[in-house]
């Protein structure tokens, strides 16, 4: 049995979480309430963040960077014109989460806090070098998402901290793409790939193949200038396969996922090079 409280400011929410260690913050509820219904979690209180106005909206800051509020639903992210160029993949990912009705409920803060390794947002945010804006009793901190994602469903969030936003670098002009292979539209990904053009190279992140999206910065540097060389692309794909630690589950075997990675990554690179 839990109570529901609906604070109207971040400070109020955090103060409540500090005073009630068994309370849990709740954003859209799309995953959390499903877990509650399945009796997988317990809480003294659900602290709904739905009435905190400062967590809403997507804004471009003076330096060109873009901040997505923690309570922005997937529906709004999927339709946001500020996410263009090499940030466009974030819109594409948001628009492929679950279905129309769930996209009205689920939020980017909730998805990042839950950190499901197969979630659509994680590879695009890792590919975009996003930072997670975390607010807690000690104030606000920004953490690169690659440091924020610690292990399977484990993040760097401390007790009484909440994800208040996602900070994205200024949009680059290069195209970007999110490719998702799923059993059926709206399912979690079997494998997903985010790819953004960056000068004469690419940034690539692979989702659902380990505790956090795979990223190979050294291999990305080695590939720069050689995007039209099939052997170089193949070597790059192998570097990502070597980092993978997939599991067997209902969406596919680990072996199947390893087979998909090079195919999907090569296709994503073709998408952002316009077939050099």
Binding range to other proteins, per CB under 8 A, among 3-11, 165-173, 199-207, 232-240: 3-11
From residue 184, alpha-carbon distances to 10, 95, 154 in Å are 37, 14, 27
Which residue in 15, 41, 78, 98 binds other proteins (CB under 8 A)? 98
Nearer Cβ to other proteins (104/253): 104
Residue 236 Cβ vs other proteins, minimum distance, rounded to whole Å: 33
In this structure, are residues 176 and 88 in contact, taking their beta carbons and an 8 Å threshold?
A: yes
Q: Does 185 bind other proteins (CB under 8 A)?
A: yes
Give me 14's structure tokens. Answer: 């955090």
Q: Pick from 101, 150, 224, 276 the residue near other proteins by CB under 8 A.
A: 101
CB 167 to other proteins: min, Å:
27
Given the rule CB under 8 A, which of 34-42, 134-142, 207-215, 239-247 is the region that contacts other proteins? 34-42
- Which residue of 12, 29, 82, 254 would you call a contact of other proteins, by CB under 8 A? 29
- 30 vs 145, which CB is nearer to other proteins? 30
Taking CB under 8 A as the rule, does residue 36 contact other proteins? yes
CB 104 within 8 A of CB 191: no
- Closer of 51 and 140 to other proteins (Cβ): 51
Q: Which two tokens stand for residue 50?
A: 């739905």
Measure the CA–CA gap between 51 and 114, rounded to whole angstroms.
Answer: 20
Q: Which is nearer to other proteins, 61 or 99 (CB)?
A: 99
**Tokens in use for 74?**
């997937």
Question: How many chain residues interact with other proteins (CB under 8 A)?
Answer: 27
Q: How far is the CB of 273 from other proteins (least distance, A)?
A: 28
Closer by beta carbon to other proteins, 32 or else 196: 32
Q: What angle do CA 49, 50, 51 make, to 5 degrees?
A: 95
Joined together, the tokens standing for residue 173 give 């002009």
Give how far the C-alpha of residue 175 lies from the chain's centroid of Cα atoms, to the nearest Å. Answer: 19
Does 105 interact with other proteins (rule: CB under 8 A)? yes
Q: Which of 21, 38, 63, 173 binds other proteins (CB under 8 A)?
A: 38
Binding mask 44-63 toward other proteins (x if CB under 8 A, else -) reads --x-x-x-------------
Question: Which window, 54-62, 80-88, 98-106, 131-139, contacts other proteins (CB under 8 A)?
Answer: 98-106
Q: Cα separation of 245 and 104, whole Å?
A: 32
Interaction site with other proteins (CB under 8 A): 1-4, 6, 26, 28-30, 33-34, 36-38, 46, 48, 50, 98-102, 104-105, 184-186
């Amino acid at each position: 049995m839990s109570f529901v409280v609906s604070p109207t400011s971040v400070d109020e929410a955090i103060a409540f979480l500090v005073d009630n260690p068994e309370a849990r913050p709740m954003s859209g509820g799309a995953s959390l309430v499903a877990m509650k219904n399945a009796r997988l979690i317990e809480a003294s209180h659900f602290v709904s963040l739905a009435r905190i106005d400062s967590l809403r909206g997507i804004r471009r800051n003076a330096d060109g960077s873009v901040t997505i509020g923690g309570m922005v639903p997937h529906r709004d992210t999927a339709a946001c014109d500020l996410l263009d160029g090499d940030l466009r993949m974030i819109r594409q990912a948001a628009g492929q989460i679950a279905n129309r009705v769930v996209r009205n409920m689920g939020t980017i803060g909730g998805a990042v806090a839950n950190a499901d390794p197969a979630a659509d947002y994680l590879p695009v945010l890792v590919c975009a070098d996003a930072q997670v804006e975390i607010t807690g009793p000690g104030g606000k901190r920004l953490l690169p998402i690659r440091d924020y994602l610690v292990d399977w469903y484990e993040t760097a969030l401390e007790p009484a901290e909440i994800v208040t936003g996602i900070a994205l670098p200024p949009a680059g002009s290069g195209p970007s793409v999110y490719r998702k292979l799923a059993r059926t539209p709206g399912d979690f990904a079997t494998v997903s790939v985010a790819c953004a053009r960056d000068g004469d190279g690419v940034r690539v992140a692979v989702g659902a193949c380990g505790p956090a999206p795979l990223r190979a910065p050294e291999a990305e540097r080695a590939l720069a200038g050689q995007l039209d060389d099939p052997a170089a692309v193949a070597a790059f794909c192998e570097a990502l396969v070597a980092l993978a630690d997939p599991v067997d589950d209902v969406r596919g075997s680990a072996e199947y996922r390893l087979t998909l990675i090079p195919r999907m990554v090569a296709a994503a690179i073709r998408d952002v090079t316009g077939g050099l």
